[in-house]
Amino acid sequence: MTEDDLFTRQSPEFLKAEELRRQIAHHDRLYYDQAKPEITDREYDALYRELVELERAYPELILSDSPTQKVGGRPQGAFAQVRHLVPMQSLDNTYSEEEITEFVDRLHRLLPDAEIPMTIEPKVDGVAIALLYEKGRLTRAATRGDGTTGDEVTRNIRTIAVIPSLLSGDFPDVLEVRGEVYLPKEAFQRINAERDEQGLPVFANPRNTAAGSLKQLDPNSVAERGLSAVFYGFGAFEASEALPATQKEFFEALKTWGLPTNPQIWTASSASEVMAAIRELGAIRHDFPFETDGAVIKVDKIAQHARLGSTSKAPRWAIAYKYEPEQARTRLHDITIQVGRSGVLTPVAELEPVFVAGSTVARATLHNEEEIVRKDLRIGDWVLVEKAGDVIPAVVAVLTAERDGSERPFVMPTHCPVCGAVVTRTEGEVAVRCGNPRCAAQVRRRIEYFASRNAMDIAGLGEAVVSQLAEADLLHDVSDLYALKAEQLLPLERMGEKSVENLLAAIAASKVQPLWRLLAALGIPHVGVTAARTLAGAFGTLDRLAAASPEELQSVEEVGEIMATAIHAWFRDAEVLALIEKLREAGLNFGERDPQDAVPAADGKLRGTTWVLTGTLSISREEAAEMIRLQGGKVSGSVSAKTTYLLAGEEAGSKLEKARKLGVTVLDEAAFRQLLL
């Protein structure tokens, strides 16, 4: 190293650049590798922009491994590594309208006298993915990784219902299509509610949850998350006919091939039209099923992409405009406690009602005591509120500068606020629990969960009705549901004769629900819907499952030591055994009427067939699926060449069109029922 080199490496500019690179690398690892970011996108972008400006001012500081010269997110070791046929770049982004104008002006400088139409589409805040289709068949799926090499996640991608295993229509011989895997906001809300209930740390946002889901080693766990996807670009493209001429034509081709695309695309030919589209998108972005953190502006003519080229990191023909996070300032009036079905005490912020991201927010979960301490949150504070995933209200910052001394620290109660029982905390856990299983709050939550759609699916038995029944002293555990009489229900508020008749019919119908639903509904530790199906299939009846040893439980695929121990212990609890006997006396199905849960019917009328369900039926799709499984058939989430039948209800969508193109037999509900006779 020369004396000049030594001077440069000791200069404030070099040291500052090194520190920025270190910070960015640290946050890249948290974001891409662990899906646990410590800072907001805005704060990360500020660090990145500072490094860009520093390297622009002092080009001698640019190193080949600088984050400005490569795509973030190195591949992970738990998955096989695959090389993209064409490198996957990321996009430059901006929060500035002026920089959008500069982007459009730069396009016209690079392509003087050319017409440059542009498209504007929602920027889905998900996980970048590349799917390789050969002869129309999905052969590989990979994450972006470092842009050149990514993690091979094909098995997990195949669990996503909207992603076809086989393309439809006239498709290229080789197509490497790019898009985003995302977690729908509704699913994000459900997952976090379940984790809160179990005393587990909640996920920060849908993007992190989607990233973590794709890195699950068990595809069944991925399927349970309910991921979805949209596609918008391509890498490799080999076909006898020409590549689509424009982005708009490519979007139409994606739809023809059966791949989901963004719900709305705008077009523009000037910077002012681009900004008008961005504002229009911003006004409706909360209505999309995915989290949208910005807009992507692209040159529409694909031939112009090659002429404009790219840097080592990003294309020159596209840019992302990012919206500022929607936050609102409000007052924290109090912190109350909500008791879940497992006894977990969850602190809840009671806020001065404030409008944010499309709706009025008056309450926000604070998750646990440690979260309150970490944020130094006090009753009476002024706070900033936003919605995680545009869905779940969250207190994101405390405005400590506005304190006047009247604010009070929050103290976690030592006794349950509902039943007065002493609360406990297991060493190593953040959750504080009420240890009284007869606590009225726990009982209500357990009954609500028992009746929920993913459990016994008892229509009409929601939170309000359960509360009324509990307050009328009619429910003490889930078995009491099956003793309810019309004369007990009719005096209750908003309980007319028809409502009572429907509710009692729904409760009676739940007695013949398949075993897996009962297992999911009972709240057995670590047993969700997927595990419930697995256990029902392995043991066949509730009694055989209850009698199983930890070793027998562990012999079931996907059941580990912790899960086996928890299930075994649960079935030896005296109160659990008493509840099971009450449910037996009530006539619930313990598996004896569940041939499809053990072994598919050998002589079933649908044996060897594969079904896909779409549209609105007179019964729930889950009920129709159970009818199919009962007769030996299989149910899939997406139409492919292997599909035998498509059961199409009212307002059937793209699956119906794809089934017709593939020559799949389409049945309406009447024909389906006739087939079962």
Which CATH superfamily, name and number, covers 600-676? BRCT domain (3.40.50.10190)
For residue 177, give every residue at least 6 positions away whose Cβ sits within 8 Å of its Cβ, in sequence order, or none: 130, 131, 133, 231, 233, 234, 235, 254, 259
Highest mean pLDDT among 176-180, 194-198, 431-435: 176-180
* Buried/exposed code over 550-579 (b: 16+ C-beta within 10 A; e: otherwise): bebbbebeebeeebbebbbebbeeeebeeb
Whether 76 has a pLDDT exceeding 70, the answer reads no
Nearest to 570, CA basis, from 426, 437, 428, 416? 437
**Calpha distance 370→388 (Å, rounded):** 19
Residues that are catalytic: 123
Radius of gyration of the chain measured on its C-alpha atoms: 28
Q: What is the pLDDT of residues 4-43, one digit of tens each?
A: 444 456 677 777 888 888 787 777 766 655 556 667 666 7
DSSP secondary structure letters along 474-504: --SSGGGGGG--HHHHTTSTT--HHHHHHHH
Residues carrying CATH 3.40.50.10190, the chain? 600-676
Q: What is the pLDDT of residues 51-73, one digit of tens each?
A: 877 877 777 777 766 776 655 55
Whether 105 has a pLDDT exceeding 90, the answer reads yes
Q: How far apart are the first and last CA of the chain?
A: 86
Given this model, what pLDDT does residue 382 score? Answer: 95
Q: What is the pLDDT of residues 357-383, one digit of tens each?
A: 767 889 988 888 888 998 999 999 999
- By percentage, how much of the chain surpasses pLDDT 90? 37
Domain 440-595 fold is DNA polymerase; domain 1 (1.10.150)
Angle at 243 between CA 241 and CA 244, to 5 degrees: 115
Hey, what are 576's tokens? 């659990």
Which CATH superfamily, name and number, covers 328-413? Nucleic acid-binding proteins (2.40.50.140)
DSSP secondary structure letters along 184-204: -HHHHHHHHHHHHHTTPPPPS
Identify whether the C-beta of residue 446 lies closer than 8 Å to the C-beta of residue 478: yes
CATH value of 3-69 in 3.30.1490.20, 1.10.287.610, 3.40.50.300, 3.40.50.720: 1.10.287.610
In total, the chain counts a number of residues equal to: 677
**Calpha distance 301→503 (Å, rounded):** 58
**Calpha distance 605→596 (Å, rounded):** 13
Give the containing element (helix H, strand E) for 20.
helix 12-28
Residues carrying CATH 2.40.50.140, the chain? 328-413
Region of 220 (left: φ > 0; alpha: ψ -120 to 50; beta: rest) is alpha
Place of tokens 């699926």: 625
Residues carrying CATH 3.30.470.30, the chain? 88-322
Q: What is the pLDDT of residues 629-674, one digit of tens each?
A: 777 787 776 688 888 898 888 767 777 888 888 888 888 877 887 7
pTM: 0.55
Residues carrying CATH 1.10.287.610, the chain? 3-69
Q: Kindly give the pairing relationship between strand 81-83 and strand 149-151.
A: antiparallel
Q: Which CATH number is 88-322 given?
A: 3.30.470.30
**Calpha distance 85→235 (Å, rounded):** 7
For residue 74, give every residue at least 6 positions away whose Cβ sits within 8 Å of its Cβ, in sequence order, or none: 32, 33, 145, 146
**Calpha distance 590→511 (Å, rounded):** 9
Given this model, what pLDDT does residue 402 score? Answer: 93
